[in-house]
């Protein structure tokens, strides 16, 4: 167990605690109607965060036992993250179930980060042509990415 990433772990868990009741309190009539500049509804943004949590979990695990650099599909390139959103039909997902999936996926990401092998932090994932991302950088960026999407939802709630 490591505490090197304690601020990230605490940040993720704090956001989950803060946002679960906020998300559940959103008026159902706006969940699928209001969209951001990527044309994603609140439900689709939450679904994307679930995809991000699950994909990052897999990457973090693979980077601790595969040879570095490691090639793993990047679901976010070439519009694939929008394909994931569409294929899973997040717009029509049961809201309570989706929020719980988001909550527990992120709690699990925090758990994975807490238990990361510190000797593997320099292992790299090949993100694309001539681009790599270390396990360390992936962990450090996770909280920022989560905050980015929660801020998008916050903006949609103010419309």
**Rounded Cα gap, residues 157 and 26, in angstroms:** 8
Kindly write down the DSSP assignment for every residue of 48-114, as one continuous string.
Answer: HHHHHHHHHHHHHHHTTTSPSSEE---TTGGGHHHHHHHHHTGGGS-HHHHHHHHHHHHHHHHHHHH
Q: Which residues constitute the domain of residue 47?
A: 14-157
Examine residue 5 and state whether it is found in any structural domain, yes or no.
Answer: no
| Domain total in the chain | 1
Task: Report pLDDT for 159.
Answer: 78
Model confidence over 45-83: pLDDT tens digits? 999 999 999 999 999 999 999 999 988 887 777 678 888
For range 114-129, the mean pLDDT = 92
Examine residue 3 and state whether it is found in any structural domain, yes or no.
Answer: no
Examine residue 7 and state whether it is found in any structural domain, yes or no.
Answer: no
Q: What is the CATH number of the domain that holds 58?
A: 1.20.120.450
């Amino acid at each position: 167990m490591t505490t090197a990433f304690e601020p990230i772990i605490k940040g993720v868990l704090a956001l989950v605690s803060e946002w679960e009741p906020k998300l559940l309190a959103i008026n159902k009539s706006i969940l699928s109607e209001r969209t951001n500049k990527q044309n994603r509804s609140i439900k689709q943004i939450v679904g994307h965060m679930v995809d991000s949590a699950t994909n990052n979990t897999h990457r973090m695990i693979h980077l601790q036992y595969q040879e570095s650099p490691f090639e793993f599909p990047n679901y976010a390139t070439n519009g694939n993250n929008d394909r994931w959103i569409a294929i899973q039909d997040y717009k029509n997902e049961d809201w309570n179930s989706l929020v719980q999936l988001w909550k527990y996926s992120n709690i699990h990401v925090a758990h994975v980060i807490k238990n990361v092998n510190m000797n593997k932090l320099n292992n790299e994932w090949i993100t694309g042509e001539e681009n790599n991302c270390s396990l360390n950088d992936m962990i450090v960026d996770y909280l920022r990415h989560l905050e980015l999407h929660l801020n998008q939802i916050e903006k949609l709630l103010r419309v």
